[in-house]
Amino acid sequence: MRLTIKHIVTAVILLLGAAGYANAQAQPETPTDRPAPAVLVADDIEVTRDRRLIARGNVEAFQGTTRLSAQSIEYNGDTGALTITGPIVIDDGAGIVILASQAELSEDLQNGLLTGARLVLNDQVQLASVQMNRVGGRYIQLYKTAVTSCRICENDTRPPLWQIRAKRVVHDREARQLYFDGAQIRVRNTPIIYLPRLRLPDPTLDRASGFLFPEIRSNSRLGNGLAVPYFIKIGDHRDLTLIPYLTGKTRTLEFRYRQAFERGRIIIQGAYSDDDLQPDDKRGYLFAAGEFALNRGFVLEFDLESVSDDAYLNDYGFFGKDRLDSTIQVSRTRRDEFIQLSYVNFKSLRDDEDDDLLPSDVVDVLYERRFHPSLIGGEIRLSAEAHGHERPSNVNFDANGDGIVDGRDVLRFNFEAEWLRTYQLGGLQVQTDLGIAGDIIRVSDDITFDEDNGLAPKVGVTLRYPLVRRGNNGVRQFFEPLVQLSWVGGDGLNVPNEESTRVEFDEGNLLSLSRFPAPDRRERGWAVAYGGTWARLDPNGWSATITAAQVLREEAQADFNDTSGLSGTASDFLLAGKLEFEGGFAMSGRTLFNESFDVAKAEVRGDWSNTRVDVGGSYVWISEDTDIDLPSPIGEVTFDGSYKIDRFWTASANWRYDLEEGRAATAGAGIAYSNECVRVGLSINRSFADSTTLEPSTSLGLTVSLRGFSVNTGDRVETRSCGKRAK
């Protein structure tokens, strides 16, 4: 009997055949034991008298999640065997694809022999072999195999960038592992490493225990060495990475432990070293961080930091910190409520700082609540804050007796209530702020201060008159003049300035009734803040924003230092702006200057970003100010950027230059090659730090990762094309 159909015909055939039906009659099965029926699609289907099914032309067969396509399939109902003529494609629907020229398979496609076969895993790794066996649907054995994730083009006789040659490769589908016998790792067909046994995870596996690719490190102080990471999968929700790092001058073990919980996560990382830089000491560091969701919407966060000595982090290039801050915090954020309790411990790694004289232990408690009363309108804000910091020293005066306090401790309580409301009078917007604050501050271990408290009523009225002009092509211009009249009453407290030593004057606090960063002190008396903002917004061209402002006072505020820009009865002029162009260039800046155009502070940042270039640079200037222990100015220029040379090569560089010292502080450069099968990175970094604990050092790094067997970073991957180069 012969059936010929011009178009694609779907024939639902139980590939178990009549024999399978007879077995079902003789031995009952449950529905779950019975294999799923197959679906066969072909241009031409023939069923012979001896119960052979022959399908030809654009043949496709479906068995569960497995899909097979071939030129022809012959099914023997007596033996349950499938004889398949290629080209053959078998896709299991889980990232495993088999390509072959000929095949002899069982009726469920789980066992059999394939010749001229290739195994493709997750569209990344290809395993080409002379012969392939499928065993039990779980194992695939490949003989005389070449493995690579590089793209291989037809009629291209050049070897891939890298490949692994092996006598035999076994793929365990359930464990998702690849086992190699007699493996050679080759670069451009040149053997560089021979391994009798090798195990690698297949690309469909997210996490598996095993070695990661090593990193070559070279440091001018530590010497040349190799870091070999080993990843340990402890479970589905936790893992451990160990990184032995060995040179002629150090024996170091780095580690990282991660664990995810139902309501949180933790990460612990650190290192332990025995080196020649400090041969009599065991050195190391330990950092731990975590976050957990507690009951009633509270969140617990912690970040603990510890190091054996001040120079360790810099010597090994782990972090750029010169102060450690260990924090434990519990907080809750709701629409109209905020609660926070935190503890911070500081440890300085700087030469010129003594931990006994620093406020090492800091505790803060903050509660904020807001209401929207319908009777009076507007918004009512209530807040209460408690703060305490303590120095380890209990000495009132230093050994020289010059009046400098060594052990001062401070405890303060602050309460504040304010009512805010906005009125619209035509185009004029009026914002009012009416409130009162209470402060209680207690000072100990300082005989020059004791305790003080007071109330500070406050009122402020802000007037704005925004103006908008619309032009052609969607261009809009915006100008908003503003002025604020404010008053804060009460007398200043006779307490030391412990928290508000660094004051910034910018657009963010222009309209604040107190511009001190902490409520240990407040601005007092009458003040007027005035200024304006102009903006040009063009969706197809350049856009700009400029803000200019100044603050005038009835009385000068004694606790504002010169570089804050707020000292005297008239503040410095604040000028800030931002400029953006369609081509990806943007520049922003801010400066403070007085009537004589003497600049107290200035900062400028520029960035240029497009498909090939990502460059940024900044300039910072702060004039000298003895009130904040700044005997000389600070001037610094920084640069960082990358340039995409072509689709595969990327160069990067960074540089920080100290204008006052007249030398570079840090510098670095790198180049990386990346395509669909490999990423190679070479970097060099130089630190010019020079002190009693930190010395200049140069480090080199070389990293290699093979696509398909390395961690997926989420970066965009460029694939080499066959024939003409893709644009």
State residue 242's pLDDT score: 95
Q: What is the pLDDT of residue 4?
A: 38
Q: What is the pLDDT of residue 14?
A: 35
Q: Which of 162, 183, 205 is the last residue of a domain?
A: 205
Whether residue 24 lies inside any domain: the answer is yes
Within 8 A by CB and 6+ apart from 641, the residues are 613, 614, 615, 616, 617, 652, 653, 654
**Local confidence band at 394 (pLDDT 50, 70, 90 cut-offs):** confident
Q: What is the pLDDT of residue 442?
A: 93
Whole-angstrom distance, CA of residue 59 vs CA of residue 46: 13
* pLDDT for 306: 95
Domain boundary among 319, 339, 368: 319
Can you tell me the distance from the alpha carbon of 294 to that of 151, in angstroms, rounded to the nearest whole number? Answer: 50
Sign of CA dihedral 292, 296, 297, 298: negative
Could you tell me if 195 and 224 lie in one domain? no
As beta bridge partners, residue 613 has 643
Cα first-last separation, the chain: 54
Cβ neighbours for 485, distance < 8 A, ≥ 6 positions apart = 460, 461, 526, 527, 528
Residues 1 and 33 in one domain: yes
Residue 64 falls within a domain, yes or no?
Answer: yes
Q: Say if residue 18 is in the same domain as residue 109.
A: yes
Whether residue 236 lies inside any domain: the answer is yes
Select from 482, 444, 485, 447 the least CA-distant residue to 465.
482
665: in domain? no
Task: Tell me: do 294 and 221 sit in the same domain.
Answer: yes
Q: Is 432 exposed, middle or buried (0-12, 13-18, 19+ CB in 10 A)?
A: middle
The sign of the CA dihedral 647, 651, 652, 658 is negative
Which of 302, 319, 336 corresponds to the end of one domain?
319
**Is residue 614 included in any domain, yes or no?**
no
Distances (CA, A) of 712 to 16, 487, 644, 716: 42, 58, 21, 10
111 & 138 share domain: no
Residue 715 lies in a domain: no
Q: pLDDT tier at 675 (50, 70, 90 boundaries)?
A: confident
Q: What is the pLDDT of residue 18?
A: 31
Cβ burial 241-270 (10 Å sphere, 16+ → b, else e): eebbbebeebebebbbbebeeeeeebebbb
For 187-206, give one letter per residue: b (16+ CB within 10 A) or e.
eeeeeeeeeeebbbbbbebe
Q: How far is CA 45 from the centre of its chain?
A: 57
Two tokens at 716? 């965009």
Give the confidence band of 712 by pLDDT, cuts at 50, 70, 90. Answer: low
| Number of domains the chain contains | 3
The pLDDT of residue 397: 55
Residue 620 lies in a domain: no
Do 172 and 84 share a domain, yes or no?
no
| Residue 30 forms part of a structural domain | yes
CA-only gyration radius of the chain, Å = 36
Can you give the residue range of the structural domain that contains 69? 1-115
Confidence of residue 24 (pLDDT cuts 50, 70, 90): very low
Kindly state the helix (H) or strand (E) to which residue 312 belongs, with its residue range: helix 312-316
Query: Given phi > 0 = left and psi -120 to 50 = alpha, else beta, which region is 515?
Result: alpha
Same domain for 169 and 263:
no
Sign of CA dihedral 145, 150, 151, 157: negative
Do 1 and 111 fall into the same domain?
yes
223 and 199 co-located in one domain: no
Mean pLDDT is lowest, of 205-219, 227-241, 324-338, 571-585, for: 205-219
Residues 178 and 202 sit within 8 Å (Cβ to Cβ): yes
pLDDT the model gives residue 35: 52
CATH number of the domain encompassing residue 73 = 2.60.450.10
What are the φ/ψ torsions at residue 696 (nearest 5 degrees)? -60, 145
Asked whether residue 172 falls in the same domain as residue 109, the answer is no
Q: What is the pTM of this model?
A: 0.79
d(CA 614, CA 643): 6
Say whether both 62 and 168 belong to one domain.
no
Same domain, 176 and 276: no
From the list 345, 350, 346, 308, the residue with the least C-alpha distance to 328 is 345
